[in-house]
């Protein structure tokens, strides 16, 4: 399945208590994740304006939003327990990269934009994954970071 691109209309139908753009998008995206995920323990929790609680991890999601003719990148933060994080990302090696990559959002967004513009063309495993319908989500980045980072830098 391709990447879902949200529109402003999608933000009108959320149950968000706060009416700011990021909370509206967070609520719409949380619903989207709830519909998609199978076997995820507990509820999807968008962080809104707070930080992650104790023993929780803040996981960013890179979200595409259509604004007129433009596609813009936004970030929605999700709070996960250890169990949720392990269910979402079973590979320990990739999971260990989450905090590190969560601090590099501008770089991840730049790579998404370069992929979209065709100015960055990865090879090998990353190219094969993108060809098979994966898209550059945060999870995709943590799974393939060593190769993506190396190729994007060179
Ligand atoms: Zn808000």
pLDDT at 154: 78
101/84 same-domain check: no
82/98 same-domain check: no
pLDDT at 2: 80
Q: For ligand 1, a single-atom ion, which residues have Cβ within 5 Å?
A: 18, 20, 23
**Residues 44-61 pLDDT 10s:** 999 999 999 999 999 999
36/112 same-domain check: no
Q: Using the 3D structure, point to which of 41, 72, 88 is the last residue of a domain.
A: 88
1/68 same-domain check: yes
10/74 same-domain check: yes
137/78 same-domain check: no
Distance between Cα 62 and ligand 1 center (Å):
17
96/38 same-domain check: no
Do residues 47 and 88 touch, judged by C-beta distance below 8 A?
no
What mean pLDDT do residues 61-77 have? 95
Q: Using the 3D structure, point to which of 47, 63, 88 is the last residue of a domain.
A: 88
pLDDT band at 65 (very low <50, low <70, confident <90, very high): very high
The partner residues of 62 in beta bridges, in order of sequence, read 75
Q: Does position 96 have pLDDT exceeding 90, yes or no?
A: yes
Residue that is written with structure tokens 């803040």 in the block:
58
**Residues 10-32 pLDDT 10s:** 998 888 889 999 999 999 999 99
Do residues 83 and 57 touch, judged by C-beta distance below 8 A?
no
Distance between Cα 90 and ligand 1 center (Å):
31
Number of domains in the chain: 2
Structure tokens belonging to residue 69: 């003719």
Distance between Cα 48 and ligand 1 center (Å):
6
Distance between Cα 24 and ligand 1 center (Å):
7
95/153 same-domain check: yes
4/68 same-domain check: yes
Distance between Cα 83 and ligand 1 center (Å):
27
Cα separation of 97 and 141, whole Å? 9
pLDDT band at 69 (very low <50, low <70, confident <90, very high): very high
pLDDT at 27: 96
pLDDT band at 1 (very low <50, low <70, confident <90, very high): low
5/60 same-domain check: yes
Distance between Cα 117 and ligand 1 center (Å):
31
- Identify the helix (H) or strand (E) that includes residue 82: helix 82-88
Q: Does position 105 have pLDDT exceeding 90, yes or no?
A: yes
Q: How far is CA 107 from the centre of its chain?
A: 13
Range of the domain at 75: 1-88
Distance between Cα 69 and ligand 1 center (Å):
25
Distance between Cα 26 and ligand 1 center (Å):
9
106/76 same-domain check: no
69/15 same-domain check: yes
Q: Using the 3D structure, point to which of 88, 112, 134 is the last residue of a domain.
A: 88
């Amino acid at each position: 399945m391709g990447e879902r691109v949200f529109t402003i209309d999608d933000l009108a139908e959320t149950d968000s208590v706060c009416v700011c753009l990021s909370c509206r998008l967070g609520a719409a995206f949380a619903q989207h994740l709830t519909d998609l995920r199978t076997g995820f323990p507990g509820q999807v929790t968008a962080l809104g304006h707070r930080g992650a609680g104790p023993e929780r991890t803040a996981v960013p999601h890179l979200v595409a939003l259509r604004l007129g003719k433009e596609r813009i990148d936004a970030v929605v933060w999700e709070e996960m327990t250890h169990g949720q994080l392990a269910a979402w990302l079973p590979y320990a090696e990739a999971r260990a990269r989450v905090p590190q990559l969560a601090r590099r959002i501008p770089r991840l967004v730049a790579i998404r934009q370069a992929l979209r513009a065709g100015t960055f063309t990865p090879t090998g495993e990353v190219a094969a994954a993108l060809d098979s319908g994966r898209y550059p989500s945060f999870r995709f980045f943590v799974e393939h970071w060593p190769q993506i980072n190396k190729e994007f830098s060179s």
